[in-house]
């Protein structure tokens, strides 16, 4: 069974960079033809797709966040990561990593989510 | 960007009743629409993909229909555990993948 777990700081100061990692267990991060995704849920915008990354490092980003998002993958650790720069209170919310299993861009497997608060 | 508008915002029904949830897309997404269920404190759970295909392990009382810009999620006979927020999501026009704002279903 594929399991995903988000990790990272729960509190980030305004203007700093949010850094999250998703650890994959139950399968190799390289074993899929699908993209690994980051999705967040904020009070202001609800569910919002941040971006997705392939195990080779190719990425797709949301246009509204593109200038602030960096994603990477570490196949040796079976992990992929998200950096979101210049955060504000509007970035406060629950961040999920997820992956499709049947069709691309539809997410069957989700992590439990991690609450991130942007505050000084 | 495709905007998904869900209605109603809240639905309150009794066990055994039929629930009908709507999702309208701002442009044609063909049948590239999915539905998720989210309970408090949990990640979304995939119910339906490509408008009418049930995901693995989803009970038959959940069904989806529609194409183009108008879609429906139907729960044929409500159970108490169906109380949740339901979201639609399109994958036709990306980036970005977009979600609706959700319909809250309350079971009386």
User: Could you please report the per-residue DSSP string of chain B?
Assistant: ---EEEE-SEEEE-TT--EEEEEEESS--TT-EEEEEE-TTS--EEEEETTTEEPTT--TTEEEEEETTEEEEEESS--GGG-EEEEEEE-SS-SSPEE---EEEEE-
Model confidence at A66: pLDDT above 90: no
Q: Tell me whether strands B53-54 and B45-49 are parallel, antiparallel or unpaired.
A: antiparallel
Q: Do the Cβ atoms of B43 and A60 come within 8 Å? A: no
How far apart (Å, rounded) are the C-alpha atoms in residues B63 and B59?
9
Nearest CA in chain B to A41: B43
pLDDT of A95: 98
Confidence at B82, pLDDT banded by 50, 70, 90: very high
User: What average pLDDT does this structure show over A15-21?
Assistant: 98
Is residue B101 exposed (0-12), middle (13-18) or buried (19+ Cβ within 10 Å)? middle
Model confidence at B2: pLDDT above 90: yes
pLDDT of B24: 98
> Any idea what DSSP says for residue A35?
P
User: What average pLDDT does this structure show over B97-105?
Assistant: 98
User: What average pLDDT does this structure show over B93-106?
Assistant: 95
3-class state of residue A36 by DSSP: strand
* Closest to B21 (Cα-Cα) out of B94, B81, B78: B78
Model confidence at A63: pLDDT above 90: yes
Model confidence at A8: pLDDT above 90: yes
Q: Tell me whether strands A114-118 and A11-12 are parallel, antiparallel or unpaired.
A: parallel
Q: Do the Cβ atoms of B101 and A112 come within 8 Å? A: no
- The tens digit of pLDDT for each residue in B41-74 reads 999 999 999 999 999 999 999 999 999 999 999 9
CA B26 to chain centre: 16
Confidence at B36, pLDDT banded by 50, 70, 90: very high
pLDDT of B94: 86
- Measured between beta carbons, the chain B residues lying within 8 angstroms of A102 are 49, 53, 55-56
Model confidence at A32: pLDDT above 90: no
- Measured between beta carbons, the chain B residues lying within 8 angstroms of A36 are none
- Measured between beta carbons, the chain A residues lying within 8 angstroms of B46 are 106-108
Q: Do the Cβ atoms of B34 and A106 come within 8 Å? A: yes
Query: What is the pLDDT of chain A when averaged over all its residues?
Result: 96
Mutation for B interface: A107, A112, A113, most B CBs within 10 A: A107
């Amino acid at each position: 069974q594929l399991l995903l777990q988000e990790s990272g700081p729960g509190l980030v100061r305004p203007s700093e960079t949010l850094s999250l990692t998703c650890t994959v267990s139950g399968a190799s991060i390289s074993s899929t033809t699908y993209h690994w995704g980051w999705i967040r849920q904020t009070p202001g915008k609800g569910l919002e797709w941040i971006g997705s990354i392939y195990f080779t490092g190719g990425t797709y980003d949301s246009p509204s966040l593109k200038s602030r998002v960096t994603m990477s993958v570490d196949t040796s650790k079976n992990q992929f990561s998200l950096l979101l720069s210049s955060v504000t209170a509007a970035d406060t919310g629950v961040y999920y990593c997820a992956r499709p299993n049947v069709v691309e861009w539809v997410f069957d497997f989700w992590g439990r989510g991690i609450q991130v608060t942007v505050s000084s | 960007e495709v905007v998904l508008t869900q209605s109603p915002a809240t639905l309150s029904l009794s066990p055994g009743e039929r629930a009908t949830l709507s999702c309208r897309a701002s442009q044609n997404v063909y049948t590239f629409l999915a539905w998720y269920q989210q309970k408090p404190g949990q990640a979304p759970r995939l119910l339906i993909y490509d408008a009418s295909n049930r995901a693995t392990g989803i009970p038959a009382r959940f069904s989806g229909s529609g194409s183009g810009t108008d879609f429906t999620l139907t729960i044929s006979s409500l159970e108490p555990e169906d109380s949740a927020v339901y979201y639609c999501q399109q994958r036709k026009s990306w980036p970005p993948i977009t979600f609706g704002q959700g319909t809250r279903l309350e079971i009386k």
